[in-house]
Each structure stands twice: as C-alpha cells, then as structure tokens.
C-alpha cells in the first residue's frame, strides 16, 4: 500500500470519527426538535434516540477500526485492509440508497468518505504474481 493511500485512509478514518460526533450530538438535537414539534409520542422519540445514538457509536467504532488499520500500515505492520473496505462499501451503499430514496444530496456526507476509504483500502495488484 502506498503512503498516499495510507494517509488517505487516515483522513477518511478521522472523518468517520468526527462525523460520528456530529451525528450523535448535532444530528440528534435537530431531529429531536422536529419530532417534538411534530408532537411525536415520547416512546417513539426515545426509541429513535436509542437507535440514533447506537448508529453514532457504530460510526465511531468504524472510524477507530479504520484509523487503527491505517496507523499500522503507516508503521509498516502487515494488517488486512478488508475491514476498512467493508466499512467503505457500507458507507457508499448507505449514502447512495439514502440519496436515491430522498433525492437529497446531503447524503454525499456518507458517499465521499466511503469513496475515499475504498480508494485507500482497495487491494493493490500483487507484484509477485506470475502471469
């Protein structure tokens, strides 16, 4: 893996960590306010809060996993980038799906880091393969 791809992976991982905080704190605050304004039942708001904050925690975990993988690459350790590639595919697929459903370009917020991570984690062709 090239140094540029490793740095790109670290940047993508940092974006995942930062976006998890934004998701959990800013995103929930805005959604909760809209739910209260719409007079949603408190048990519905509570149930959505649980899922919303679990998603934020999962995003944080994904970011930490990605940062760990690329930090190890940067130190020259042998580590699989497959978990990072799985996270990338999940982010891209979820962002594309959400954008298709809503028509809202906001969901590029998932697609862009997913694409960055996919580029960073994509396996390079092995130089020692024989034709």
Residue 126 is predicted with a pLDDT of 65
> Does residue 20 fall inside a structural domain?
yes
* Residue 53 phi, psi dihedral angles, 5° rounding: -75, -30
Which tens digit of pLDDT belongs to each residue from 7-47? 999 999 999 999 999 999 999 999 999 999 999 999 999 99
How far is residue 86's CA from residue 9's CA, in Å, rounded to a whole number?
Answer: 13
Residue 127 in any domain: the answer is no
Q: Is residue 74 part of a domain?
A: yes
Would residue 128 count as lying in a domain?
A: no
What is the percent of the chain where pLDDT is above 70? Answer: 95
**How many structural domains are present in the chain?**
1
- Does 79 reside within a domain? yes
Band (pLDDT 50/70/90 cuts) for residue 129 is: very low
The answer to whether the CB of 59 falls within 8 A of the CB of 22 is no
**Quick check: 73 and 79 in contact, CB under 8 A?**
yes
Measure the CA–CA gap between 61 and 120, rounded to whole angstroms. Answer: 18
Parent domain of 113: 3-121
Predicted TM-score (pTM) of the model is 0.88
């Amino acid at each position: 893996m090239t140094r540029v791809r490793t740095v790109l992976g670290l940047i993508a991982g940092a974006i995942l960590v930062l976006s998890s905080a934004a998701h959990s704190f800013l995103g929930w605050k805005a959604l909760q306010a809209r739910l209260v304004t719409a007079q949603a039942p408190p048990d519905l708001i509570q149930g959505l809060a649980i899922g919303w904050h679990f998603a934020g925690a999962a995003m944080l975990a994904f970011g930490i996993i990605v940062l760990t993988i690329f930090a190890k690459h940067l130190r020259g350790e042998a580590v699989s980038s497959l978990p990072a590639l799985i996270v990338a595919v999940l982010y891209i697929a979820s962002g594309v799906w959400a954008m298709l459903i809503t028509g809202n370009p906001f969901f590029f917020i998932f697609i862009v880091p997913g694409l960055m991570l996919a580029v960073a984690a994509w396996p390079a062709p092995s130089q020692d393969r024989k034709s």
